[in-house]
């Protein structure tokens, strides 16, 4: 090898090595996003008095002011993990953390340009967007957050996957391609009430850009090999195993599976197990109805079966009036919105409704009446039986046109 060839090869190797490295030399390292002294690197947008006190970012609402405001980073961030501490000094506080906002808080409705992780210490059990929710995208279960206590917030943005944590507990997650890059921000919500919020220990770990999937998981499964089959065809009620008898009378006639007059919770399950699949169905339920569809249930050895199916596998909730687990929720695992963006109730009482469930590995997504309701990554169970429920005080529930596509 000549000297010229050796030099060229060395240059090529160096170039390849550089190409394989992340663009940011500090990728994978926690770095302070706030220097503890001043607001260098941040910009106040809108209302509120932002300051630094005792190594903390502080915002208060001046008397007579009603508008909201943001404190946003001058820099954009793409894929990262963000962690910080927040204290809502005022009771009944409403705030949020802005991420990946390309408009830096200056374009109307920043929560819909990037993403906002909601912080809210009021009676969140009745609110659409409780603390930890990815605003109007993925709902969280209510956590009591007393005023005056520090809470730990962590947010992961990796590719199209956004996940929020509060005090170490996963609150909400979603896959969305709304924005992949933008500012980080802290919010002072508008209103007439006094506001006093404090923030500290704000750190960020930038990550190499993850693969941007051009299809949602649902579309990938729709296009995967396999055909839909009629799930109830050829079955009889006797082919199902009873989990909890609950006093219900089950029948299967002309393709309609029906549960009547339960006195308690009544479940029936297939003897076969299923792992990855798409399943669609139509259902309708009586007034004051309560029912559910369960999947990936590992059949328990305990003959008393004291632990319910929703805790062993996953239950997609059907309920006409459950604020904690509205229809489409994965029971106590991923909470659905009961209304769409126009304020219309997703579940149609007394009518036939559609449900569609996608399950692949640890990733599950539910739809009701073509509305994306709940999404989660969870490893509680990856394989198990499929079951149908009717629950008092429902008088009856019906399931029909149940179709399944098994994903190999």
Q: Residue 16: pLDDT above 50?
A: no
- Report the share of the chain in percent with pLDDT over 90: 77
Q: What is the distance between the alpha carbons of residues 104 and 73, in angstroms, rounded to a whole number?
A: 8
Give the pLDDT of residue 123: 60
Residue 364 has pLDDT above 70, yes or no: yes
Q: What is the pLDDT of residue 279?
A: 98
Residue 4 pLDDT exceeds 70: no
Percent of the chain with pLDDT over 70: 92
Domains of the chain: 30-206 (2.60.120.560), 220-406 (2.60.120.560)
Taking 60 as the threshold, does the pLDDT of residue 24 lie above it? Answer: no
Residue 178 pLDDT exceeds 50? yes
The mean pLDDT of 233-240, rounded to a whole number, is 97
Whether pTM > 0.85 for this model: the answer is yes
Residue 110: what are its φ and ψ, rounded to 5°? Answer: -55, -35
Reply yes or no on whether the pLDDT at 65 is more than 90: no
Residue pLDDT, tens place only, 104-160 = 999 999 999 999 999 987 765 567 899 999 999 999 999 888 889 999 999 999 999
- Cβ of 12: how many Cβ atoms within 10 Å? 10
Closest CA to 184 of 209, 159, 157, 220: 157
Does the pLDDT of residue 181 top 90, yes or no? yes
CA-closest candidate to residue 47, choices 72, 71, 73, 68? 68
Helices (H), 29-185: none
Confidence of residue 63 (pLDDT cuts 50, 70, 90): confident
Query: Which of 195-204, 233-242, 302-311 comes out lowest in average pLDDT?
Result: 302-311
What pLDDT, in 10s, does the model give residues 76-105?
Answer: 999 999 999 999 998 778 899 999 999 999
Quick one: how far is CA 37 from the chain centroid? 35
How many alpha carbons fall within 13 Å on the CB side of residue 399? 27
């Amino acid at each position: 090898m000549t000297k010229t060839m050796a030099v060229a090869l060395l240059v090529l190797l160096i170039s390849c090595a550089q190409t394989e490295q992340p663009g940011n030399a500090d990728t994978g390292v926690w770095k302070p996003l706030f220097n503890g002294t001043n607001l260098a690197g941040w910009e106040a947008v809108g209302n509120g008095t932002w300051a630094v006190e005792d190594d903390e970012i502080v915002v208060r609402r001046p008397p007579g002011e009603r508008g909201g405001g943001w404190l946003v980073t001058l820099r954009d961030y793409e894929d990262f993990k963000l962690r910080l501490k927040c204290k809502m000094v005022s009771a009944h506080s409403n705030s949020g953390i802005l991420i990946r906002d390309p408009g830096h808080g200056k374009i109307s409705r920043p929560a819909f340009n990037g993403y906002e992780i909601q912080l809210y210490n009021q009676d969140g059990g009745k609110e659409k967007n409780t603390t930890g929710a990815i605003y109007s995208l993925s709902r969280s279960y209510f956590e009591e957050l007393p005023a005056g206590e520090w809470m730990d917030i962590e947010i992961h943005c990796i590719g199209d996957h956004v996940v929020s944590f509060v005090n170490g507990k996963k609150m909400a997650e979603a896959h969305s391609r709304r924005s992949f890059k933008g500012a980080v921000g802290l919010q002072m919500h508008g209103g007439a009430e006094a506001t006093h919020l404090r923030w500290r220990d704000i750190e960020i770990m930038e990550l190499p850009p993850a693969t941007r999937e051009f299809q949602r998981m649902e579309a990938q499964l729709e296009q995967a090999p396999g055909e839909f089959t009629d799930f109830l065809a050829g079955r009889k009620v006797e082919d199902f195993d009873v989990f909890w008898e609950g006093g219900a009378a089950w029948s299967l006639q002309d393709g309609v599976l029906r549960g009547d007059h339960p006195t308690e919770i009544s479940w029936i399950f297939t003897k076969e197990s299923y792992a990855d699949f798409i399943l669609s169905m139509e259902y309708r339920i009586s007034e004051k109805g309560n029912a559910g569809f369960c999947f990936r249930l590992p059949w328990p050895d305990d003959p008393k079966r004291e632990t319910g199916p929703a805790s062993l596998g996953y239950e997609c909730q059907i309920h006409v009036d459950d604020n904690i687990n509205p229809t489409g929720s994965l029971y106590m695992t991923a909470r659905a919105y009961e209304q769409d963006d126009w304020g219309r109730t997703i579940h149609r009482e007394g009518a036939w409704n559609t449900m569609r469930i996608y399950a692949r590995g640890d990733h599950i997504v539910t739809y009701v009446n073509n509305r994306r309701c709940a999404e989660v990554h969870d490893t509680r169970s990856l394989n198990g039986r499929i079951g149908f429920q009717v629950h008092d005080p429902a008088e009856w529930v019906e399931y029909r046109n149940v179709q399944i596509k098994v994903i190999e």
